[in-house]
Amino acid sequence: MTLACTPLAELYPAHRERMALTRFLAAVAVEALIAEARLTPKPGLVDRRGPGAHGDMNLEMVVRSAHSLWPTFAAIASAAFQAREDHALRETLSELGRAGERVMLQTTNGVNTHRGSIWTLGLLCAGAAMIFERERSAATVCAKAARVARLQDSFTLPGQSHGQRALREYGARGARGEAEDEFPHLLHVGLPMLKRSISKGLSTEHARLNVLIAIMAVLDDTCLLHRGGLPALTAAKRGARKILDCGGASTKNGLKALFELDQTLLRLNASPGGSADLLAAVVFLDFVENAVKSQEASHGDHAL
């Protein structure tokens, strides 16, 4: 093979590493969105049973939307690969995110399926890409992503998103506040609940349902506020705490309480979309952390 015909990835190992990492992170982000969508039963949300409180959505649409975002997550990870957090990077990532929103809306004929996840998972993809592999824990990824989120984007238009309106009306900081605060509901609620549930021998599905419910119990979910105001948020938190008090989604009483909450949210036409976005982010971080541990273990076995 002549030099002119040699693939760039073979000439430049760093380019090969960038390509492999961006493909991996994009794939994990998409699979996390699909895992969240297919998880059943979820109160008020699209799942295998139906559209929940989203009359304009169905599971097939949400899965198509997730697949359409692979290039967006890959582009975000590529732009952030081993980069420093600065104003230029922040605006590049924002533009890539807005381009991803346009692709999403084209895929869904104008339905907002994943705007919140583009922000959250996009930041986490960027944070993971900025960090060297052995440092890529959930905490370091969230910390790096938070530093990017705190930077200003000159092209952000004020007052347009549901989260911005919820901030004005209710003081809820939404997805932006979650990111700027280093994702406390991921690190201190969702991931611990996932690990506790798995350690008790629960199935992946029950563990992830418990994650969703634990986040719902404490999050000021701007999707609930947008669709149903304080009554919807209060009902969701109260119902989620009841499920946890019953032992979680894997217990008979907990599952009964989950279905009761589902009916309550359907009556209110309200959906905990912000909590669902964070569930997908928990799945993403858990997979990234486990991949690093598996890689370290394989390196150790090789050394032996």
What pLDDT is stored for residue 164 in this prediction? 64
- What average pLDDT does this structure show over 17-31? 95
The answer, yes or no, to whether residue 4 has pLDDT greater than 80, is: no
**Ramachandran area for residue 86 (φ above 0: left; ψ -120 to 50: alpha; else beta):** beta
**Nearest of 96, 220, 237, 226 to residue 155 by alpha carbon:** 96
Which token pair is 126? 């960027």
**Nearest of 18, 290, 294 to residue 138 by alpha carbon:** 290
Separate counts of helices (H) and strands (E) for the chain: 15, 0
- Any idea what DSSP says for residue 45? S
In 3-state terms, what secondary structure has residue 272?
coil
Q: What is the pTM of this model?
A: 0.91
- For 289, residues 6+ apart whose C-beta sits below 8 A from its C-beta are 136, 137, 138
In 3-state terms, what secondary structure has residue 196?
helix
Cβ 226 vs Cβ 165: under 8 Å: yes
Distance CA 164, CA 213 (A): 24
Distance CA 161, CA 83 (A): 28
What pLDDT is stored for residue 167 in this prediction? 61
The mean-pLDDT minimum among 54-58, 64-68, 159-163 falls in: 159-163
Our CA angle for 217, 223, 229, nearest 5°, is: 85
Cβ 91 vs Cβ 153: under 8 Å: yes
Q: Convert the pLDDT of each residue in 35-51 to its tens digit.
A: 999 999 999 999 999 99
Cβ 26 vs Cβ 18: under 8 Å: no
Q: Which amino acid is at 60?
A: E
What pLDDT is stored for residue 121 in this prediction? 98
Distance CA 142, CA 148 (A): 10
What pLDDT is stored for residue 286 in this prediction? 97
Which token pair is 124? 């986490």
- Any idea what DSSP says for residue 135? G
Number of other residues whose CB lies within 10 A of the CB of residue 142: 26
Cβ 126 vs Cβ 179: under 8 Å: no
**Nearest of 211, 239, 300, 272 to residue 47 by alpha carbon:** 272
152 or 292: which carries more pLDDT confidence?
A: 152
Q: Convert the pLDDT of each residue in 203-232 to its tens digit.
A: 999 999 999 999 999 999 999 999 999 999
Cβ 97 vs Cβ 76: under 8 Å: yes
**Average pLDDT of the residues of the chain:** 90
Query: What is the Rg, in whole angstroms, of the alpha carbon atoms belonging to the chain?
Result: 20
Distance CA 231, CA 60 (A): 30
User: Distance of CA 246 to CAs 125, 221, 233, Å?
Assistant: 35, 22, 20
What pLDDT is stored for residue 119 in this prediction? 97
